[in-house]
Amino acid sequence: MDNVLNFFKNPVFSYNNYQFSIGELIAALLVILIGITTFKLLQRFVSRAKTAKRFTPKQARTLIKFIRIIVLFGTVIFFLKALNINTAKFIGFEIVKTERITISIYHLLILYFIFTATQIFLYLLEVLFSDRINANKIEKGKGQSLFQIIKYFVWTIAVTLFLDSLGFSITFLIASLSALLVGFGLGIQHFFNDIISGIIILFDRSIKVGDIVEIQGEIVGKIEEISLRTSKVISRDDVIVIIPNSMFTSDKVINWSHNSLKTRFSVSVGVAYGSDVEKVKKLLIEAANEHPKIDSKPEPMVLFKNFGESSLEFDIQFYTHESFRVERVKSDLRFAINSKFIEHDVTIPFPQRDVHLIAEK
């Protein structure tokens, strides 16, 4: 028995005045195996819970990150104890050391902890905002814009805390880099202009996520995401357009949903001279009222727009919540109008010209 104990106590490896016996190495290896097994089992449990729809995919990923950091810290502590290594000395082991900065294992652990804790906090905050949006306690665009502002603020605090843990003086760092930042800023002023514009948009909220906007009379789309430098807009062709935020503050932008989600549109149509205009008005209103995407209040309205060269010109004006897909609504309405005009013998004329020929004598 004593021989077995002596065998396990026999030192087989040394490093920096540390000697490790066979028993300590086996114990350390067992700690690693237990840590890996524990993480795999918990990961499988979370995956099964996600499959059973107890967690959303995002919740599952966040929970796995949280489990990973707990298991990792526990494994490292028990691993060091198994090797009889002083935990404080190990964590304080200096990886990089200069006159102004020292980076140890402690700083790497702090970086990992701050990064993971910030992600988990932001996820919980996002869940809170999503719940309030789904419960109609906060408007969607307002909630998402407010979350973006808080997210940038939280990440700024996280980076500041990490630099502070390294012993950096933020005031000294800014003062040291001020001249460099001025020159650098002049070179990429458009980049900073986009960032400042993004901050203005997030605080001003003249443009929000979900708004239907028209930019420079060319791009019509729905705001999908407002980031610090750029925004994502999905066009009516389902194409994602990346737009610099400075365009929203310097160019002409029409926000169709700024005051209300309901917007007025119109469809023009011409009928032949001699047509019963009251009958035309009735048919146009019927066609609009029969469309499920056209609102009944305010009621559709017909305007006798003009006496054209070859037709009597009318506009059917209507309100709809389908601002983003209004071209489909207009197309459906034109199909309905054409069918009703054919059914009731109302003629849509084609352009006509009278040509007078004068014979020369």
| Shared domain check, 289 and 225 | no
| Shared domain check, 132 and 6 | yes
Question: Could you tell me the pLDDT band of residue 317, with boundaries at 50, 70 and 90?
Answer: very high
For residue 287, what pLDDT is reported? 92
Is 220 part of a structural domain of the chain?
Answer: yes
Q: Return the closest-CA partner of residue 242 out of 256, 227, 254.
A: 227
The vertex-198 CA angle with 203 and 252, nearest 5°, equals 95
Domain that holds residue 118: 2-136
Sign of CA dihedral 52, 57, 62, 68: positive
| Shared domain check, 131 and 8 | yes
Residues 78-106 pLDDT 10s: 877 777 777 776 677 677 777 666 777 77
Q: How many other β-carbons are positioned within 10 Å of the β-carbon of residue 50?
A: 18
Q: Return the closest-CA partner of residue 224 out of 293, 168, 145, 158.
A: 145
Question: Could you tell me the pLDDT band of residue 145, with boundaries at 50, 70 and 90?
Answer: low
Domain final position from 255, 272, 302? 255
Question: Could you tell me the pLDDT band of residue 35, with boundaries at 50, 70 and 90?
Answer: confident
Is 158 part of a structural domain of the chain?
Answer: no
User: Looking at residue 295, which CATH number applies to its domain?
Assistant: 3.30.70.100
Over residues 198-227, the mean pLDDT reads 79
| Shared domain check, 232 and 270 | no
| Shared domain check, 304 and 212 | no
The letter for the amino acid at 3 is N
pLDDT reading at 15 higher than 60: no
Average pLDDT in the chain: 77
Pairwise pLDDT comparison (160 vs 173), residue with the higher score: 160
| Shared domain check, 229 and 307 | no
186-200, 210-224, 321-335: which has the minimum mean pLDDT? 186-200
Domain final position from 233, 255, 277? 255
For residue 339, what pLDDT is reported? 92
pLDDT reading at 8 higher than 60: no
Is 24 part of a structural domain of the chain?
Answer: yes
| Shared domain check, 234 and 282 | no
For residue 244, what pLDDT is reported? 86
pLDDT reading at 178 higher than 80: no
pTM: 0.48
Is 118 part of a structural domain of the chain?
Answer: yes
| Shared domain check, 14 and 113 | yes
| Shared domain check, 93 and 120 | yes
pLDDT reading at 1 higher than 60: no
Question: Could you tell me the pLDDT band of residue 337, with boundaries at 50, 70 and 90?
Answer: very high
Pairwise pLDDT comparison (158 vs 52), residue with the higher score: 158
Question: Could you tell me the pLDDT band of residue 281, with boundaries at 50, 70 and 90?
Answer: very high
32-46, 150-164, 167-181, 316-330: which has the minimum mean pLDDT? 167-181
Q: DSSP letter at 42?
A: H
Is 181 part of a structural domain of the chain?
Answer: no
Is 358 part of a structural domain of the chain?
Answer: no
Give the contacts of 203 (CB within 8 A, at least 6 positions apart).
Answer: 149
| Shared domain check, 267 and 235 | no
- Give the residues across from 79 on adjacent strands: none
Is 26 part of a structural domain of the chain?
Answer: yes
- Give the residues across from 340 on adjacent strands: none
| Shared domain check, 95 and 7 | yes
Q: Which of 61-65, 67-71, 163-167, 313-317 has the highest mean pLDDT?
A: 313-317
For residue 314, what pLDDT is reported? 93
Please tell me the number of Cα atoms within 13 Å of 37 on its side-chain side.
6
pLDDT reading at 143 higher than 80: no
Domain final position from 231, 255, 279? 255
Number of domains in the chain: 3
Over residues 201-225, the mean pLDDT reads 79
User: Looking at residue 230, which CATH number applies to its domain?
Assistant: 2.30.30.60
pLDDT reading at 44 higher than 80: yes
Is 166 part of a structural domain of the chain?
Answer: no
| Shared domain check, 101 and 12 | yes
By residue count, the chain amounts to 361
Over residues 193-200, the mean pLDDT reads 77
